[in-house]
Amino acid sequence: MLELKNVNVHYGVIHALKDISLTVNDGEIVTLIGANGAGKTSTLCSISGLVKLSGGTVMLDGVELNKVLAPNRVGMGISQVPEGRRIFPRMSVLENLEMGAFLRRDKSEIKQDMENVYARFPILGDRKKQMAGTLSGGEQQMLAMGRALMSRPKILLMDEPSMGLAPLLVIEIFKIIKDINASGTTILLVEQNANMALSIADRAYVIETGTIKLSGTSEELMKSEEVKKAYLGG
């Protein structure tokens, strides 16, 4: 479904991504793990069109996206749950979810998808008139995920969904991620909690200083002494 070929990104003189190549197949959960500043968020933003490539290509279902603007990529099936949630704090829960469907015109199906989001995240249904900025961190993460799902993505890009959450909430969020995937949405997951990420992913990539250093099935990487030492506390 998704393929990055030799993707490079520069921020001025800083070479953030260096010939990144990876694939995500239809129906998979693929995780990208690495330390702070390794290039994980830049990789997601190169896919969603939020940063400009200085080299390489991004492909979705065989279509090159390099010249496709970010809003049009959403329409093609790419949706991102950003690091730090980035909900609209002065808008209600309902208005935030409506923003997720901004590009859609199928009103009856939007309504059904809204009900599906409320079924998956009941707290959002209970608080749909509440200002989003007054929600707890976990509730805001659920709202960010629900908003992304309202665009009906083929592939969901998730950036650090466990950041700042209590351990029990982390477990709940990862159960929801598995459920979203089981419902038919492909997921590319960026996550510093490597143990949790590898526990639900089919395959994984390890990124260090803008370069893919390791890749394989999640089981293979969980057994890797290098990964254990650097990311799993082993």
For residue 80, tell me if it sits in a domain: yes
Distance from C-alpha of 47 to C-alpha of 56, rounded to nearest angstrom: 12
Q: What is the pLDDT of residue 20?
A: 97
Partnered with residue 78 across adjacent β-strands are 155
What is the C-alpha separation between 56 and 18, in angstroms, rounded?
A: 10
Please give the backbone phi and psi of residue 77, each rounded to the nearest 5 degrees, phi first. 120, 15
Residue-wise DSSP of 82-151 = -TT----TTSBHHHHHHHHTTT---HHHHHHHHHHHHHH-HHHHHTTTSBGGGS-HHHHHHHHHHHHHTT
Residue 168 counted as domain residue: yes
Instruction: Decide if 136 is inside a domain.
Output: no
206, two tokens:
């390890």
Task: Give the whole-angstrom CA distance, residue 72 versus residue 77.
Answer: 9
Low-confidence ranges of the chain (pLDDT < 70): 234
pTM of structure: 0.94
The answer to whether residue 118 is domain-embedded is no
Q: What is the pLDDT of residue 51?
A: 95
**Domain with 7 in it: what CATH number?**
3.40.50.300
Q: What is the Cβ-side half-sphere exposure of residue 16, based on CA atoms within 13 angstroms?
A: 18
Would you say residue 197 lies in a domain? Answer: yes
Q: Kindly state whether residue 202 falls inside one of the protein's structural domains.
A: yes
Rg, the chain, Cα only: 17
**Environment class of residue 26 by beta-carbon count within 10 Å: exposed (0-12), middle (13-18) or buried (19+)?**
exposed
Q: What is the pLDDT of residue 95?
A: 97
Full domain range(s) for residue 69: 2-89+152-231
**Which of 52, 73, 70, 69 lies closest to 2, judged by CA?**
73
Asked if residue 138 is part of any domain, the answer here is: no
- 215 domain-assigned: yes
Nearest partner of 157 among 166, 148, 165, judged by Cα: 148
- pLDDT attached to residue 163: 87
Alpha carbons 57 and 217: distance in angstroms, whole number:
24
Structural domain total, the chain: 1
Residue whose C-alpha is closest to residue 56's, from 159, 214, 64: 64
Cβ atoms 63, 140 nearer than 8 A: no
Give pLDDT, residue 213: 95
